[in-house]
Amino acid sequence: MGRYTGNVCKLCRREGMALWLKGQRCFSEKCSLKKRDYPPGQHTRRPRKVSEYNRQLREKQKAKRIYGIQETQFLKYFRLAERMKGNTGENLLTILERRLDNVVLALGLALSRFHARQLVSHGHVTVNGRRLNIPSYLVRVGDEIGITRKEKIRKLVAETVEINRGTEVPSWLEADPTNLSGKVVQLPKRDDVTHDLHEQLIVELCSK
């Protein structure tokens, strides 16, 4: 299945929570979830019994949609998390947090995850001084993330940083708004994941 190109607000309504897919709009009164806090489609407001499988599936779908990845890549991350020491579910979430597009967003250099991915894919982001156009790149401790020297791009990113001013940067990252850059000071931990996800349900589903 290809990338989802439909109305992303419907994804938030389907999961019953804000997935922060539209940046600042999600914090405003224009958020569709505030107007229609029920799933899209006909008959969706009828009460129905939720099975254990459905709960597990919804958690996995939430994680995929929050981080903007497809099924194959998600399962790849899960297998990697299984091979790591420690709790598989926590490992999975910290791996997702380390994606380059997520780091660009967390540093306040982008308005939304789509915007962050676009910046990376178009080669406007650097890692340790070198251009990198792979959104799925997993950052490591000591990596320095920045924006290329193109004046037009830096001006646009500077405006984005100003809009995002006041947004809290995760403790495992160190932001430098003046230079439009940031640094990975440590690997993320479970407590650094602010999204409302129940990773154990994901593990139970993917382990079947």
If asked whether residues 92 and 133 sit together in one domain, one would say no
- Cα separation, 15 vs 18, in Å, equals 8
**Residue 49 belongs to a domain with what CATH number?**
1.10.1050.10
Q: Between these two residues, 42 and 87, which has the higher pLDDT value?
A: 87
pLDDT in tens, 60-107: 988 998 898 999 999 999 999 999 999 999 999 999 999 999 999 999
If asked whether residues 104 and 183 sit together in one domain, one would say yes
pLDDT in tens, 128-140: 999 999 999 999 9
Q: Considering the domain boundaries, does residue 45 fall inside one?
A: yes
The secondary structure of residue 196, as a DSSP letter, is -
Domain that holds residue 202: 8-96+194-206
If asked whether residues 161 and 199 sit together in one domain, one would say no
pLDDT at 1: 35
Cβ proximity of 77 and 96 under 8 Å: yes
Q: Sign (positive/negative) of CA torsion 48, 50, 53, 54?
A: positive
Number of domains in the chain: 2
**Residue 157 belongs to a domain with what CATH number?**
3.10.290.10
If asked whether residues 35 and 106 sit together in one domain, one would say no
Q: Kindly tell me the burial class for residue 204, based on how many C-beta atoms sit within 10 Å of its own C-beta (0-12, 13-18, 19 or more).
A: middle
